Amino acid sequence: MHQRDLVRNFLQLVKETIANPVIGEGWVLVPRPENVGCIQKLGFNYRDTKNTILDLSVADYCDGPCHDRDQPGEL
């Protein structure tokens, strides 16, 4: 499988997870100081952040996915 296909599949999984949350599973915006600081600097809120992720495409890819250091799963 080509890198582009891997990225497309990963984005599809992320978008499905965000769009169809299951209690106790799914997407969590961890309130680390660097996350909160970046979101505030951009003038975003939780909904803006979620919508920005949902709007990502393969053309936006630069690196990853990588393993989450605090929870099971990938970033």
- pLDDT tens for 3-40 read 889 889 989 988 988 887 776 677 778 888 998 999 99
In this structure, which long-range contacts are made by residues 66-73, counting pairs with CB atoms below 8 Å and at least 24 apart in sequence?
Answer: 70/30, 71/28, 71/30
CA angle 30, 38, 34 (to 5 degrees): 50
Q: What is the pLDDT of residues 55-70, one digit of tens each?
A: 999 999 887 667 777 7
- Enter the pTM of the model: 0.69
